[in-house]
Amino acid sequence: MANWPPKKGTAFDLDVVIRDADGDPITDPAGLAAVISMDGGAQAATTNAPAVVSAGSAIVKLALTSTEMTADRISVVISSASAGAKSAFLTLYTDASQIAEIKTQTAAIEADTQDLQTQIGAAGAGLTSLGDARIANLDAAVSSRSSHVAADIWTVATRALTDKAGFTISGAKTTLDDLNDISAAQVNAEVVDALGVDTIPELAQGAPPATPTVRQALMLLYMALRNETLTTASLLSIKNDAGTVITKAALSDDATTMTKGKLAAGP
């Protein structure tokens, strides 16, 4: 069984017996022929013709070539022209490795495993005797491998980033000096544009926040001065340019003190 199963792509000798209608072996069967089908493909005559192994024998041998063995499933029919002879049919399933090869590979793995167990030793004691100082260095706290503490990092003086070989910046500006190309005049022009050209949209309907942005604070004052406002005995209303109340505050007067409440969302 060491050479079993048939190895894929390797020549293989197939032995069969041709029997008669009663199931008895036929000695020296005549007119032997064989056909083969590989992996369910169309059948064809085999390269070699089957033949008895020796005169007076009932055993017929068919030598399959390595090419005929390059399939996972190989079906063979061997026939005889002898009177009453019944054809023999067999199917072979090949594999890339045989029992003998697997046994050899398993033995090699077992030997390597045993050698590894020997070197490691009990509780890993063998690891420290392999002669590499780096293994011993692993058996220590990380903090013991440096004399620095976190404060040492923060006390290092600031270092200026300068152009160095291998340091590049993507884009049209490729050096640090190129990035510093905005003049005071350009900054002034942008400020003038923001203050004198850019417009500020009106505030939407809602209660003014307690901590507004500069834009919100300026626009609320501007809308209160420019747009229509309504004041009754009990209510102050501030409108937008379209005449919609955006914010309002309750008013009260007890003949001594006039009180204006906080602005809330309109209308």
How far, in Å, are 11, 99, 110, 112 from residue 102 at the CA level?
19, 5, 12, 15
Residues 6 or more apart from 43 whose CB is under 8 A from it? Answer: 35, 36, 37, 75, 77
- pLDDT value at residue 105: 77
Per-residue pLDDT tens for 161-183? 565 666 667 777 777 677 777 88
Residue 142, pLDDT score = 65
pLDDT tens, 31-78?
Answer: 999 999 999 999 999 999 999 999 999 999 999 999 999 999 999 999
Would you say 129 and 109 are in contact if contact means Cβ atoms under 8 Å apart? no
- Model's pTM, two decimal places? 0.40
pLDDT score of 219? 92
Q: Shortest CA distance to 81 belongs to which of 46, 44, 32?
A: 32
pLDDT for 162 equals 60
Q: Give the best-scoring range by mean pLDDT among 67-71, 108-112, 154-158, 189-193.
A: 67-71
pLDDT at 135 over 80: no
- pLDDT confidence of residue 146: 73
